[in-house]
Protein backbone atom coordinates (compact mmCIF):
# COMPACT_ATOMS: atom_id res chain seq x y z
CA UNK A 1 0.00 0.00 0.00
CA UNK A 2 1.33 3.43 -0.96
CA UNK A 3 1.33 6.13 1.72
CA UNK A 4 1.61 9.87 1.35
CA UNK A 5 3.53 11.08 4.38
CA UNK A 6 5.57 13.93 5.76
CA UNK A 7 8.89 12.68 7.12
CA UNK A 8 11.39 14.56 9.22
CA UNK A 9 15.07 14.46 8.32
CA UNK A 10 17.04 12.43 10.89
CA UNK A 11 20.45 12.95 9.32
CA UNK A 12 21.84 14.09 5.99
CA UNK A 13 25.57 13.51 5.42
CA UNK A 14 27.96 13.68 2.52
CA UNK A 15 29.46 10.17 2.29
CA UNK A 16 31.52 10.69 -0.87
CA UNK A 17 32.10 13.83 -2.96
CA UNK A 18 28.64 15.11 -3.97
CA UNK A 19 26.95 11.91 -2.71
CA UNK A 20 24.70 12.17 0.33
CA UNK A 21 22.94 9.69 2.56
CA UNK A 22 19.73 10.98 4.14
CA UNK A 23 17.84 9.22 6.92
CA UNK A 24 14.16 10.08 7.22
CA UNK A 25 12.13 9.43 10.36
CA UNK A 26 8.95 7.59 9.49
CA UNK A 27 5.71 8.44 11.27
CA UNK A 28 4.07 5.84 13.52
CA UNK A 29 2.15 4.29 10.63
CA UNK A 30 3.70 1.01 9.43
CA UNK A 31 5.58 1.64 6.17
CA UNK A 32 6.82 -1.42 4.34
CA UNK A 33 8.65 -1.80 1.04
CA UNK A 34 10.58 -4.22 -1.12
CA UNK A 35 14.14 -3.78 -2.41
CA UNK A 36 13.88 -2.10 -5.81
CA UNK A 37 10.84 0.01 -4.91
CA UNK A 38 11.22 3.77 -4.78
CA UNK A 39 9.84 6.93 -3.18
CA UNK A 40 8.60 10.06 -4.90
CA UNK A 41 9.92 12.95 -2.88
CA UNK A 42 8.80 16.58 -2.78
CA UNK A 43 10.56 19.33 -0.88
CA UNK A 44 8.40 21.46 1.38
CA UNK A 45 10.51 24.61 1.30
CA UNK A 46 9.10 27.40 -0.88
CA UNK A 47 11.59 27.22 -3.77
CA UNK A 48 11.19 26.22 -7.42
CA UNK A 49 12.69 22.88 -6.38
CA UNK A 50 9.52 22.16 -4.41
CA UNK A 51 7.20 22.14 -7.43
CA UNK A 52 8.02 18.70 -8.76
CA UNK A 53 8.49 15.32 -7.15
CA UNK A 54 11.65 13.30 -7.76
CA UNK A 55 12.08 9.50 -7.62
CA UNK A 56 14.72 7.92 -5.38
CA UNK A 57 15.35 4.23 -4.75
CA UNK A 58 14.84 3.09 -1.20
CA UNK A 59 18.40 2.65 0.04
CA UNK A 60 17.49 1.03 3.36
CA UNK A 61 14.30 0.62 5.36
CA UNK A 62 13.74 -0.31 8.99
CA UNK A 63 10.62 0.05 11.11
CA UNK A 64 11.35 3.67 12.00
CA UNK A 65 13.74 4.96 9.33
CA UNK A 66 14.03 5.16 5.56
CA UNK A 67 17.39 5.99 3.95
CA UNK A 68 18.07 7.56 0.57
CA UNK A 69 21.43 7.71 -1.22
CA UNK A 70 21.53 10.56 -3.72
CA UNK A 71 23.94 12.47 -5.90
CA UNK A 72 23.85 16.25 -6.07
CA UNK A 73 23.30 17.08 -9.72
CA UNK A 74 20.40 19.50 -10.07
CA UNK A 75 18.17 22.00 -8.28
CA UNK A 76 16.27 19.45 -6.22
CA UNK A 77 19.25 17.43 -5.02
CA UNK A 78 21.19 20.65 -4.29
CA UNK A 79 18.31 21.78 -2.09
CA UNK A 80 18.14 18.32 -0.48
CA UNK A 81 21.83 18.53 0.44
CA UNK A 82 21.11 21.64 2.51
CA UNK A 83 18.36 20.00 4.59
CA UNK A 84 19.03 19.57 8.30
CA UNK A 85 17.28 17.60 11.06
CA UNK A 86 14.87 20.51 11.56
CA UNK A 87 13.44 20.00 8.06
CA UNK A 88 10.84 17.66 6.61
CA UNK A 89 10.01 16.34 3.15
CA UNK A 90 6.86 14.89 1.61
CA UNK A 91 7.00 11.32 0.34
CA UNK A 92 4.85 8.90 -1.59
CA UNK A 93 6.11 5.50 -0.45
CA UNK A 94 6.55 2.78 -1.61
CA UNK A 95 6.08 3.02 -5.39
CA UNK A 96 6.73 0.59 -8.25
CA UNK A 97 7.58 -3.07 -7.95
CA UNK A 98 10.63 -4.64 -6.35
CA UNK A 99 13.09 -7.39 -7.22
CA UNK A 100 11.56 -10.87 -7.04
CA UNK A 101 13.89 -13.26 -5.24
CA UNK A 102 14.60 -16.24 -7.44
CA UNK A 103 14.70 -18.95 -4.76
CA UNK A 104 15.51 -21.72 -7.23
CA UNK A 105 19.03 -20.25 -7.50
CA UNK A 106 21.88 -20.88 -5.07
CA UNK A 107 23.65 -17.55 -5.34
CA UNK A 108 22.33 -14.03 -5.77
CA UNK A 109 24.58 -11.52 -7.51
CA UNK A 110 23.77 -7.83 -7.02
CA UNK A 111 25.37 -5.83 -9.83
CA UNK A 112 25.57 -2.08 -9.24
CA UNK A 113 26.99 0.69 -11.40
CA UNK A 114 27.65 4.04 -9.69
CA UNK A 115 24.49 5.29 -7.95
CA UNK A 116 22.89 1.96 -8.84
CA UNK A 117 24.32 0.88 -5.49
CA UNK A 118 21.41 2.70 -3.80
CA UNK A 119 18.82 -0.14 -3.83
CA UNK A 120 21.40 -2.90 -3.48
CA UNK A 121 22.11 -2.37 0.20
CA UNK A 122 18.39 -2.83 0.91
CA UNK A 123 18.45 -5.94 -1.29
CA UNK A 124 21.54 -7.28 0.53
CA UNK A 125 19.85 -6.67 3.92
CA UNK A 126 16.80 -8.56 2.69
CA UNK A 127 18.74 -11.54 1.30
CA UNK A 128 20.73 -11.77 4.53
CA UNK A 129 17.51 -11.75 6.54
CA UNK A 130 16.06 -14.65 4.56
CA UNK A 131 19.37 -16.56 4.69
CA UNK A 132 20.29 -16.45 0.99
CA UNK A 133 23.88 -16.28 -0.22
CA UNK A 134 24.65 -13.08 -2.08
CA UNK A 135 27.47 -10.86 -3.27
CA UNK A 136 27.57 -7.22 -4.38
CA UNK A 137 29.60 -6.37 -7.48
CA UNK A 138 30.16 -2.63 -7.80
CA UNK A 139 31.50 -0.73 -10.81
CA UNK A 140 32.55 2.90 -10.96
CA UNK A 141 34.63 5.24 -13.12
CA UNK A 142 37.49 5.67 -10.62
CA UNK A 143 38.29 5.73 -6.89
CA UNK A 144 36.80 9.27 -6.72
CA UNK A 145 33.40 7.69 -7.39
CA UNK A 146 33.76 4.86 -4.89
CA UNK A 147 30.73 4.63 -2.60
CA UNK A 148 30.52 3.21 0.91
CA UNK A 149 29.64 -0.46 0.46
CA UNK A 150 29.56 -3.46 2.80
CA UNK A 151 32.71 -5.50 3.32
CA UNK A 152 33.02 -8.32 0.84
CA UNK A 153 31.74 -6.16 -2.02
CA UNK A 154 33.84 -6.69 -5.19
CA UNK A 155 34.86 -3.52 -7.00
CA UNK A 156 35.82 -2.71 -10.58
CA UNK A 157 36.78 0.69 -11.95
CA UNK A 158 37.25 1.94 -15.49
CA UNK A 159 40.75 3.30 -14.76
CA UNK A 160 41.86 0.60 -12.30
CA UNK A 161 42.30 3.10 -9.45
CA UNK A 162 40.19 0.86 -7.19
CA UNK A 163 39.40 -2.83 -7.48
CA UNK A 164 40.07 -4.51 -10.80
CA UNK A 165 40.40 -2.51 -13.98
CA UNK A 166 37.43 -2.80 -16.33
CA UNK A 167 33.64 -2.79 -16.33
CA UNK A 168 31.63 -4.47 -13.59
CA UNK A 169 30.66 -7.18 -16.11
CA UNK A 170 34.29 -8.48 -15.80
CA UNK A 171 33.50 -9.29 -12.18
CA UNK A 172 30.20 -10.82 -13.19
CA UNK A 173 31.77 -13.07 -15.78
CA UNK A 174 34.31 -14.25 -13.20
CA UNK A 175 31.42 -15.14 -10.87
CA UNK A 176 29.71 -17.09 -13.65
CA UNK A 177 32.82 -19.18 -14.20
CA UNK A 178 32.77 -20.06 -10.47
CA UNK A 179 29.04 -20.63 -9.98
CA UNK A 180 26.60 -22.00 -12.53
CA UNK A 181 23.42 -21.52 -10.53
CA UNK A 182 23.17 -17.77 -9.95
CA UNK A 183 20.49 -15.12 -10.34
CA UNK A 184 21.41 -11.53 -11.18
CA UNK A 185 19.77 -8.32 -9.96
CA UNK A 186 21.18 -5.17 -11.55
CA UNK A 187 20.87 -1.40 -11.20
CA UNK A 188 22.91 1.33 -12.84
CA UNK A 189 23.37 3.30 -16.06
CA UNK A 190 21.74 2.01 -19.27
CA UNK A 191 24.96 0.85 -21.04
CA UNK A 192 25.97 -1.14 -17.96
CA UNK A 193 22.51 -2.73 -17.73
CA UNK A 194 22.59 -3.56 -21.43
CA UNK A 195 26.01 -5.24 -21.06
CA UNK A 196 24.81 -7.12 -17.97
CA UNK A 197 21.63 -8.32 -19.74
CA UNK A 198 23.68 -9.46 -22.73
CA UNK A 199 26.16 -11.40 -20.56
CA UNK A 200 23.33 -13.04 -18.61
CA UNK A 201 21.65 -14.08 -21.85
CA UNK A 202 24.91 -15.62 -23.05
CA UNK A 203 25.33 -17.60 -19.80
CA UNK A 204 21.57 -18.34 -19.53
CA UNK A 205 21.37 -16.68 -16.11
CA UNK A 206 18.07 -15.05 -15.06
CA UNK A 207 18.50 -11.30 -14.72
CA UNK A 208 16.29 -8.53 -13.38
CA UNK A 209 17.17 -4.89 -14.02
CA UNK A 210 15.99 -1.74 -12.27
CA UNK A 211 15.55 1.05 -14.83
CA UNK A 212 15.77 4.79 -14.37
CA UNK A 213 13.54 7.20 -16.24
CA UNK A 214 12.21 10.72 -16.03
CA UNK A 215 9.12 10.56 -13.84
CA UNK A 216 6.49 13.25 -13.51
CA UNK A 217 3.52 11.50 -11.91
CA UNK A 218 5.16 8.30 -10.62
CA UNK A 219 1.87 6.39 -10.78
CA UNK A 220 1.27 5.47 -14.43
CA UNK A 221 -0.82 8.50 -15.42
CA UNK A 222 1.42 10.63 -17.68
CA UNK A 223 3.30 8.00 -19.77
CA UNK A 224 6.42 10.17 -19.46
CA UNK A 225 8.57 7.28 -18.26
CA UNK A 226 7.68 4.80 -21.04
CA UNK A 227 10.33 2.48 -22.42
CA UNK A 228 10.15 0.16 -25.43
CA UNK A 229 9.74 -3.52 -24.67
CA UNK A 230 11.21 -6.39 -26.67
CA UNK A 231 7.78 -7.05 -28.25
CA UNK A 232 7.53 -3.44 -29.54
CA UNK A 233 4.96 -2.37 -26.93
CA UNK A 234 5.75 0.26 -24.28
CA UNK A 235 6.15 -0.26 -20.54
CA UNK A 236 5.86 2.44 -17.90
CA UNK A 237 8.89 2.36 -15.64
CA UNK A 238 7.11 3.93 -12.66
CA UNK A 239 4.30 1.44 -12.15
CA UNK A 240 5.11 -1.59 -14.33
CA UNK A 241 8.73 -1.33 -13.13
CA UNK A 242 11.19 0.00 -12.21
CA UNK A 243 12.30 -3.67 -11.99
CA UNK A 244 11.88 -5.79 -15.13
CA UNK A 245 13.08 -9.13 -16.36
CA UNK A 246 15.97 -8.15 -18.65
CA UNK A 247 14.44 -10.26 -21.44
CA UNK A 248 11.38 -7.98 -21.55
CA UNK A 249 13.37 -4.90 -22.60
CA UNK A 250 14.39 -3.81 -26.10
CA UNK A 251 18.10 -3.17 -25.50
CA UNK A 252 18.65 -1.74 -28.99
CA UNK A 253 17.06 1.58 -27.99
CA UNK A 254 19.10 4.45 -26.61
CA UNK A 255 17.87 5.57 -23.21
CA UNK A 256 19.22 8.57 -21.33
CA UNK A 257 18.04 10.00 -18.05
Closer CB to ligand FES, 147 or 237, in the complex:
237
Burial class (CB in 10 A: 0-12, 13-18, 19+), 115: buried
Query: What does the per-residue mask of binding to ligand FES show for 206-235, with x meaning CB under 6 A?
Result: ---------xxxx-xxxxxx----------
Contact indicator for 239, 216 with CB cutoff of 8 Å:
no
List of residues 6+ apart from 129 with CB closer than 8 A: none
When asked if residue 257 is in the footprint of ligand FES (CB under 6 A), the reply is no
CA–CA distance from 134 to each of 108, 109, 113, 137 (Å)? Answer: 4, 6, 17, 10
Which residue in 191, 227, 213 sits closest to 38, CA to CA? 213
Shortest reach from residue 92's CB to ligand FES, in Å = 12
Residues 157-216 that bind ligand FES (CB under 6 A): 215-216
CB of residue 25 to ligand FES, shortest distance in Å:
27
Q: Closer to ligand FES at the Cβ: 118 or 238?
A: 238
Contact, 222 vs 179, CB < 8 A? no
| Least gap, CB of 184 to ligand FES (angstroms) | 25
- Residue 138 or residue 190: which is nearer to ligand FES going by CB? 190
Nearest CB to ligand FES, comparing residues 162 and 226: 226
Binding residues for ligand FES, per CB under 6 A? 215-218, 220-225, 236, 238
Amino acid sequence: MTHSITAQVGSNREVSPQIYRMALKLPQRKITGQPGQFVHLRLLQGTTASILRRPFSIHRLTSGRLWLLYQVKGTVTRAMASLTPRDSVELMVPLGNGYRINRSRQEHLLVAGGMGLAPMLFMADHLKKVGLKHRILFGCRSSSYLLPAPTGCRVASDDGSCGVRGPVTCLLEAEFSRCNNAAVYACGPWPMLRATASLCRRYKVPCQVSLESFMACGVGACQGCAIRAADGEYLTVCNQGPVFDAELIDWTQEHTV
